[in-house]
């Protein structure tokens, strides 16, 4: 048992000391900007890394999203155990390139795999997730009407790989239902003076696995629109992922973040690199 606890620490310090877990390549997805395993902007029911039953896994990642007037930089890490539990951390800094200044946020995530196995059961894999978000630059969000500098998101995600679907390729489908009070995922704080209740939003991803190492995907993320000072819109992206091996994956994409803080049509690149042990 001591070994099981110490192993992930050793893994983080020295990658060569550890083998990747037993799960099949690409089944850990990527690290979403909130740190949870998923696509780029949607958390999935899969767990980060490759830990299968009774195994530990760990990941570390860095992502960057550059749209017309903003740049989001994220760094984070996660640990998972038994293909059942995932604990993640992500530190976001959102640079207001045109307006000046930045908004920083930390996201602490936890995910529990409830039922189903991504590859092996007719039932999709279901996971329940929780994200505690803490805004670190609350002055601006407060000034534009946000009520809280922290908030809890809850989500239920379902993911399933369907074999031999598109020109003989496998397809991964994911649907996520999230309860949130976050404005612009929390970068603009949580709730408003007038309305501090939870909103239910839908998020979805569809991915074609071209082979074991390459995948193409689309994502959609519905968002609330609570703050009166500016319109908030749904997010979308398309991406290509390259799982070089079970230790290294790269994602490049194109993201459409709609209107942010009064600046419309925020579109640009998405880049992410993840290491897994």
Partner 1 sequence: MSFSTKLTVILLSALLLSGCSQTNSPSLYQQLGGAAGIEAITDGLLHEIEHDHRIVHHFADTDIARFRRLLAEQLCDLSGGPCVYSGGTMQQSHTGFNISLADYDALVEGLIKVMQQQNISISAQNQLLALLAPMYKDISYR
List the one residue from 11, 18, 21, 277 that touches partner 1 (CB under 8 A): 21
Q: Which is nearer to partner 1, 116 or 275 (CB)?
A: 116
Q: Which is nearer to partner 1, 83 or 102 (CB)?
A: 83
Q: Burial, 150: exposed, middle or buried (Cβ in 10 Å; 0-12, 13-18, 19+)?
A: middle
**Interaction of residue 3 with partner 1, rule CB under 8 A:** no
**Interaction of residue 194 with partner 1, rule CB under 8 A:** no
List b or e across 68-102, with b for residues whose CB sees 16 or more CB atoms inside 10 angstroms. ebbebbbbbbbbbbebebbbbbbebbbbbeeeeeb
> What is the spatial distance between Cα 254 and Cα 97, in angstroms, rounded to a whole number?
19
Range list of β-strands (E), the chain: 30-31, 37-38, 56-67, 70-81, 85-96, 102-115, 125-135, 146-148, 150-166, 169-180, 190-192, 199-209, 214-221, 235-245, 248-256, 267-276
**Interaction of residue 29 with partner 1, rule CB under 8 A:** no
The dihedral region occupied by 115, where left means phi > 0, alpha psi between -120 and 50, and beta the remainder, is beta
Binding to partner 1 by CB under 8 A, coded x per residue (else -) over 34-63, reads ------------------xxxx--------
List b or e across 230-262, with b for residues whose CB sees 16 or more CB atoms inside 10 angstroms. bebbbbbbebebebeebbebebebebbbbebbe
**Interaction of residue 169 with partner 1, rule CB under 8 A:** yes
Binding to partner 1 by CB under 8 A, coded x per residue (else -) over 60-89, reads -----------------------x------
**Interaction of residue 196 with partner 1, rule CB under 8 A:** no
List the one residue from 22, 75, 93, 150 that touches partner 1 (CB under 8 A): 22
Q: Which is nearer to partner 1, 83 or 176 (CB)?
A: 83
**Interaction of residue 218 with partner 1, rule CB under 8 A:** yes
* Residues 123 to 162 in contact with partner 1, rule: CB under 8 A: none
Distance of closest approach, residue 85 Cβ to partner 1, in angstroms: 14
> What is the spatial distance between Cα 39 and Cα 34, in angstroms, rounded to a whole number?
10
**Interaction of residue 205 with partner 1, rule CB under 8 A:** no
Q: Which is nearer to partner 1, 152 or 218 (CB)?
A: 218
The three-state secondary structure class of 76 is strand
**Interaction of residue 98 with partner 1, rule CB under 8 A:** no
Torsion sign over Cα 7, 11, 14, 17: positive
> What is the spatial distance between Cα 175 and Cα 270, in angstroms, rounded to a whole number?
21
List the one residue from 2, 3, 16, 122 that touches partner 1 (CB under 8 A): 122
**Interaction of residue 231 with partner 1, rule CB under 8 A:** no
Distance of closest approach, residue 86 Cβ to partner 1, in angstroms: 15
Which residues bind to partner 1, rule: CB under 8 A?
A: 21-24, 52-55, 83, 117, 119-122, 163-170, 206, 208, 210-212, 216, 218, 236-238, 254, 256, 267
């Amino acid at each position: 048992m001591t070994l099981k606890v110490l192993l992930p620490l050793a893994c983080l310090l020295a990658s060569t000391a550890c083998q990747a877990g037993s799960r099949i390549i690409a089944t850990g997805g990527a690290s979403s900007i909130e740190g949870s395993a998923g696509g780029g902007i949607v958390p999935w029911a899969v767990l980060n890394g490759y830990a299968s039953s009774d195994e530990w896994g760990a990941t570390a990642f860095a992502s960057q999203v550059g749209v017309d007037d903003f740049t989001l930089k994220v760094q984070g890490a996660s640990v998972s155990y038994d293909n059942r539990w995932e604990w993640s951390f992500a530190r976001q800094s959102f640079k207001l390139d045109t307006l000046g200044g930045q908004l920083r946020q930390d996201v602490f995530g936890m995910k529990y795999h409830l039922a189903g196995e991504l590859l092996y059961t007719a039932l999709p894999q279901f996971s329940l997730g929780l994200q505690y978000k803490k805004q670190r630059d609350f002055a601006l969000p407060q000034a534009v009407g946000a009520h809280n500098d922290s908030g809890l998101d809850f989500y239920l995600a379902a993911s399933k790989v369907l074999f031999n679907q598109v020109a003989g390729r496998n397809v991964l489908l994911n649907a996520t239902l999230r309860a949130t009070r976050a404005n612009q995922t929390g970068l603009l704080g949580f709730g408003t003076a007038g309305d501090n209740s939870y909103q239910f939003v839908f998020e979805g991803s569809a991915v074609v696995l071209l082979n074991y190492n390459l995948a193409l995907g689309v994502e959609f993320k519905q968002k609330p629109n609570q703050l009166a000072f500016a319109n908030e819109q749904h997010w979308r992206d398309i991406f290509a992922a390259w799982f070089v091996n079970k230790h290294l994956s790269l994602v490049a994409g194109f993201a459409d973040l709609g209107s942010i803080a009064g600046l419309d049509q925020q579109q640009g690149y998405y880049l992410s690199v993840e290491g897994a042990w």
